[in-house]
Structure 1
Amino acid sequence: MAHVTTNKDKIVARVRRIAGQVAAVERSVLADAECADTLHLVAAVRGAVAGLMDELVEDHLHAHVAAAGVTDAERAAAAAELAKLLRRHFR
């Protein structure tokens, strides 16, 4: 995933924010917080992960499917890989 290395710091910061959100869910459960509060935290995690997924998919498309100089075989392999990933994601 070579295209991630160009945005690595940004992506790692995003992943760390998500990790912090997940930790907040854990603290909420351990503290017996109100159900609605915990559900809001989980919804925020889900949204953050979905946003990260969107960014990574877009980067993958630009770097491996739509990039100039990519061979037809490489393009087909990258598209198949992405299709497999999206099937798993949308289960």
Structure 2
Amino acid sequence: MPHTVKEKKPLLARVRRIQGQAAALERALEQESDCSAVLQQIAAIRGAVNGLMAQVLEGHLREHLGGDERTPQERQEDLEQVLSVLRSYLK
């Protein structure tokens, strides 16, 4: 995916923030923190993952479906691929 190479630095920054949030969640569970704090951390992680997914998905759509250099067949294949990923993500 060329678009992920172009956006490598911000994508890796997002992933590292998610890793930090997951580590904080693990610590909260190990320390038997209050349920509301654990739930808040889970919600933060979910939001961060959703943001990462949106950023990669947008890049993919722009790169593979937005350009004029793609044939209709290639666009259809890319569309089916994106739909398959979205179906599994939204389960």
Partner SS, residue 19 of structure 1: helix
- Map of 2:8 onto structure 1: 8
Q: Deviations over 1:28-67 (max 9, x none)?
A: 0000000000100000000000011111111110000111
Give the structure, 1 or 2, with the largest relative contact order (CA under 8 Å, sep 6 or more). Answer: 2
| Structure 2: gaps spanning 5 or more residues | none
Which runs of 4 or more aligned residues in structure 1 lie more than 2 Å from their structure 2 counterparts after TM superposition?
A: none
TM-score, L = length of structure 2: 0.97
Partner SS, residue 70 of structure 2: coil
Give the stretch that moved more between structures: 28-37 or 61-70: 61-70
TM-score, L = length of structure 1: 0.97
- CA distance in 2 between counterparts of 1:80 and 1:26 reads 37
The count of aligned residue pairs is 91
| Aligned CA-pair RMSD | 0.7
Task: Measure how far apart 1:72 and its partner are.
Answer: 1.1
